[in-house]
Chain A
Amino acid sequence: MAHAFVASLQSEWLKKKGSLASWMVVTGAFFTPTIIIIARLVYHERLPALYASDGFWRLLWKNAWESMAIFLLPLGVMLATSLIAQLEYKNNTWKQLHTTPLPFTVIFFSKFTVIAAMMLQFLILFNLGIWLAGVIPQIIIPGVPWPGAIPYDYFLREDVFYFIDCLPIIALQYLLSLHYRNFLVSIGCGFIFWIGALGTLSWKYGFLFPYTYCMFNYLKAGVETKAAVPPVNIHGMAIGYFLIFTVAGYYLYIKKKDKG
């Protein structure tokens, strides 16, 4: 089984090569850092004071994650997950995949692992983008001081939290995109859930909604908003929802009567 899983994982990784989902990971990761670099080069006169301030990297981190945590990450995860499953529907390849000597369990989890790996890939590239957003203006603009040491442990901890908080979105979008042939169903549902998450941020029970956790993780950092930052462990809840959606998705996939 382990051997089959590795083989399946290799094949799934190859499939995403050059696909829209893989391009989304790269462009999505560098989108916000690029905007920050451009903005800093335009307003370069403010840079010496900014780079000399304490907590430069934390501020940069917060700026970079602002649009990412609320908009780009949930929507990007939703799209990338749906696109990965859609690769099989669009190319009419489920039937070919399901007639290979692979257990259905291996197919389900190897695809899932690739999506999770893409999420990790995104986080690594986004961290690289944030670093570049700090370094490039300092190199280009004369007289800007070096911003000091990067708080690696803080970055790493937050990355882990964002990864965990995205897992329920990945699992539910994966369930939907495996179950429904029509791409619009998973994207449409995801979009409605995302709007729902935005709408429930200020509700005291908003934390019950599984698409809110990335947003709450950003907002808990002390941003002044009307959002009701929940008094519960949102990461634990994210893992709980992730497990429920994964088991449900797996059950529906295994029980599907028509496999291509």
Chain B
Amino acid sequence: MLSLETHNLSHRFSSGQDVLRNINLAVEQRSIYGFLGPNGAGKTTTLRLILGLLKRQEGSISVFGKPFDKNRIDILRRVGSLIESPSLYGHLSAKENLTIFQKIYQCPAANIPHVLGLVGLGDTGRKKASQFSLGMKQRLSIALALLPAPELLILDEPTNGLDPNGIIEMRELLKTMNREQGITILISSHLLAEIEKLVTHLGIIHQGEVIFQGTLDALKHKQQQTLHIVLEAGDPHAAMRLLLDDGMEALYTDGGIRLPAMTKTEIAAMNRKLVSAGVEVYAIRPVKNDLESIFIDLVNP
């Protein structure tokens, strides 16, 4: 069952520039969906469309199986969100900021100290939000998103401004909420390393198009497929000829000759063959792509 689904969602600015093209997101219930893409790829625009902050132009959006446009109020009652930079009333304290939204959501007042405690802001007292550090503001914004005890949490770059400890705490908090309360989380980021330890599913967006969508395991499988060996030789053309004659899938690139993954014995045999044929071998090194490299490969084909 899907918590959120978009179908052929497209958007263009008033200047005529296409920002999104046929975005088809499928966020499974109880999943942690990482929405990944470089800056300017269209992540925030997608999330703003999903939350109704931008007027939809083409395509459709369904949340909890219902069309968003016709069920806006019912859907938003079950959704918590943080879009881009913190949205807080600077002249009010953390508690007062939350009270404003507690009135609107009509949720129990006990939720306020609970969420403040969750994000580590339980002791800020009467200090005004404008006097908070960026990290504290971000934490308070997350508390605000958690306040109505949402079923779906939409977080746009929530770790901006957090220190490494804060990022780890945030990750653990989101994991716990997903595991214990079954909250579906859609989290965007431009850094895969930041969310790869958190997410179960991934969507990668680049230049307004989704170029990968699937489970983290599917992406890891892609990573396995990209294991390869790079060979540097004195005469790469001669080396290529020998390798291709031997039936190997060699590919000449700027950095050297790229070969599929092989065992240590096979590497030693290949080396012997090249040397005995008079080709100088400078280096043979295995290249193991991490997920970040795959991400970069995907967005820079």
Contact = CB atoms under 8 A, between A and B. Distances in A.
B100 A15 contact: yes
A233 interface: no
A95 B103 contact: no
Contact of B51 (A15, A87, A91, A99): A99
B53 A258 contact: yes
Given A258-B53, A259-B52, A101 B87 contact: no
A99 B52 contact: yes
A95 B92 contact: no
A7 B106 contact: yes
B91 A95 contact: no
Contact of B73 (A14, A90, A102): A102
Given A15-B92, A101-B77, A95 B53 contact: yes
Contacts, number: 84
Given A101-B74, A258-B54, A96 B103 contact: no
A225 interface: no
A109 to B, nearest CB: 14
A95 B99 contact: no
A260 B53 CA distance: 6
A93 B51 CA distance: 14
Interface in B80-110: 81, 83-92, 96, 99-101, 103-106
Contacts of B53: 95, 98-99, 258-260
A91 B91 CA distance: 9
A79 B253 CA distance: 66
Size class of the A contact interface (CB-based, 8 Å)? 20 to 34
A260 B76 CA distance: 15
A113 interface: no
A14 B96 contact: yes
Contacts of B285: none
Contact of B83 (A11, A99, A102): A99
A101 B86 contact: no
Contact of B87 (A96, A103, A259): A96
Contact of A8 (B52, B76, B81, B104): B104
Q: Give the most central of A95, A99, A258: most B CB within 10 Å.
A: A99
B96 A11 contact: no
Interface in A1-25: 3, 7-8, 10-11, 14-15, 17-19
Contacts of B106: 3, 7
Contacts of A95: 48, 51, 53, 83-84, 87
A87 B73 CA distance: 24
A124 to B, nearest CB: 24
Contacts of A260: 48, 53, 83
A96 B144 contact: yes
Contacts of A157: none
A92 interface: yes
A101 B105 contact: yes
A2 B296 CA distance: 52
Interface string B49-60: 001111100000
A226 interface: no
B101 A11 contact: yes
Given A93-B87, A93-B89, A10 B103 contact: yes
A17 B128 CA distance: 12
Given A98-B53, A100-B101, A257-B55, A17 B92 contact: yes
A17 B88 CA distance: 14
B119 interface: no
B41 interface: no
Contact of A14 (B77, B85, B99, B144): B99
Contacts of A258: 53-55
A11 B76 CA distance: 17
Q: Give the most central of A7, A11, A100: most B CB within 10 Å.
A: A100
B210 interface: no
A259 B76 CA distance: 15
Contacts of B73: 101-103
Contact of A100 (B54, B83, B105): B105
A258 B11 CA distance: 12
B250 interface: no
B88 A7 contact: no
- Nearest 4 CB-CB pairings of A with B: A96-B87, A101-B77, A101-B76, A11-B103
Given A15-B89, A99-B51, 10 more contacts: A11-B100, A11-B104, A14-B99, A17-B96, A95-B87, A96-B87, A99-B52, A101-B72, A258-B54, A259-B53
29 contacts: A7-B106, A8-B103, A8-B104, A10-B103, A11-B101, A14-B99, A14-B100, A14-B103, A15-B92, A15-B100, A17-B96, A18-B92, A19-B91, A90-B90, A91-B87, A92-B86, A92-B87, A93-B88, A95-B53, A98-B52, A98-B53, A99-B53, A99-B76, A99-B83, A101-B73, A101-B74, A103-B73, A260-B48, A260-B83
